[in-house]
Amino acid sequence: MSLTPEQAVAELVAKARKAQAIFDDYNQEQVDEVVTATAWALINPENNARLAELAVEETGLGNVKDKITKNHRKTLGLLRDLMQAKTVGVISEDPVNGMVEIGRPVGVVGVIVPSTNPIATPMNNILNALKCRNAIILAPSPKGQPSCTRLLELVYQELDRVGAPRDLVQQLPTPVSKILSQEMLSQVDHIVATGSQNNVRASYTSGTPAFGVGAGNVAVIVDETADLADAAAKIKASKTFDNATSCSSENSIVIVDAVYDAMLAELARVNGALLNSDEKQQLQSAMWHDGHLNRHVLAKPVADVCAVAGLNREGLGDSDFLMVTETDTGPDAPFSGEKMSLVLTVYRASDYAAAKAKASEILDYMGKGHSLGIHTNDASRPVELGETMPVCRVIVNQAHCFATGGSFDNALPFSLSMGCGSWGGNITDQNVHYRQYMNVTRVVRTIPPREVSVEDIFGDYKRKYLS
């Protein structure tokens, strides 16, 4: 007799709780060994190469070389972040304020995994969950499930090696379905949801505490002070990485008029191809059907995009990315939205103020809360953007998709899940990392009183307005 979805998930959760109860007794050294062992399942170059190949074969998204790089870089960077973190027992003491903080698990974590990153995202979540002594259940996309299954087989080998319970890491049974995923959301203790906004909303309405992320639609300003050659090289590197599977890849650039032609020349120099108006219309007709992005252009090489759109200009398919010019934003200008394809939308702005206004329009249409980039040598402009634009990150003079999710040369934590704050409908504005997988118990002792009087608080106000 086959199990109902409720029973199937309940069985997984019961096994996870049993394993987590054992794991709860591990000390920090033992936990860190489990984390290191688990990470080796992907850092091992042979495993990484095979998993990257499987991911591209099964999902049809991205490319093997960049997935190998992403799997390695994201995992190694996260390990750097986790290496010195305390998550077991006393994690901080503040004797002056009489406060002791103790790290505690959240329990069983349920994770929604997008098809765009069927290996890097599960590993990122697994390591964060294990670092805080949790068990984890993954809900991969149907296309990504075979890759995830193979990853877990390799993880189990490493868990066996260090004597940790296998049931700390599980995934939903084949075939994954919406019903199973929704059932998981209602039975676990804690949710991390990355991917479609439908999945994020389902997590928020499940009744279980959830960290979800908002939609990306990265716009990058290039102002008149920018190093144009450096900006073009970084935009190309970010835009083309893994065929633009990242929500942090540039979707639009807004170029100030004074350097517009020169910047286009630099983008052409790094093998970007600007389409004419007829070609743009052909591409638009091919990329969107009834408002939905055509999966045959999603994270595909430029040659494939050209074939789908019937673009046959000589040499166009040999370009590294395509560019289209745009003036409008919103549903009637679909190139102003997130594309997850090797197509970059180019806007021309009369000056920096106009560029900022256009970037704001783009964010208002899609991507509010996520991030904004700028290439500039004006030190004040990035801070001004941070003070006025509805984003949680302003990325300065960097390849956006590498920088937003944490990098070895910036201070953001390594993550594949970027919170978008209230602007993006999220509970967090941070890169989701281990602290979102941990409860903290605070032991509070008395300290010398710090009482205030009415005069301390209201004295100046009374003298200014009431005397």
Known catalytic residues? 247
**What is the helix (H) or strand (E) element at residue 206, kind and residue range?**
none
- Of the candidates 379, 392, 401, 433, the one whose C-alpha atom is nearest the C-alpha of residue 321 is 401
Residue pair 221/356 in contact (Cβ under 8 Å)? The answer is: yes
Q: Are strands 99-105 and 89-94 parallel, antiparallel or unpaired?
A: antiparallel
Q: How far apart are the first and last CA of the chain?
A: 82
What is the spatial distance between Cα 422 and Cα 391, in angstroms, rounded to a whole number? 10
What is the spatial distance between Cα 323 and Cα 283, in angstroms, rounded to a whole number? 11
DSSP one-letter string for 252-321: EEEEEGGGHHHHHHHHHHTTEEE--HHHHHHHHHHHEETTEE-TTTTT--HHHHHHHHT---TTGGGSSE
- Within 13 Å of residue 183, how many CA atoms lie on the same side as its CB? 19
Report the helix count and the strand count for the chain, using DSSP H and E. 16, 17
Residue pair 381/374 in contact (Cβ under 8 Å)? The answer is: yes
Specify which residues 112 forms β-bridges with.
Answer: 139, 193
Residue with tokens 């992005």: 293
- Within 13 Å of residue 79, how many CA atoms lie on the same side as its CB? 19
Q: Is 378 helix (H, G, I), strand (E, B) or coil?
A: coil
Q: What are phi and psi of 248, to 5 degrees?
A: -100, 5
Residue pair 182/199 in contact (Cβ under 8 Å)? The answer is: no
What is the spatial distance between Cα 123 and Cα 425, in angstroms, rounded to a whole number? 25
444 CB neighbour count, 10 Å cutoff: 9
Cα 241–Cα 242–Cα 243 angle in degrees, nearest 5: 90
DSSP one-letter string for 227-261: -HHHHHHHHHHHHHGGGG-STTSEEEEEEEGGGHH
What is the spatial distance between Cα 169 and Cα 102, in angstroms, rounded to a whole number? 24
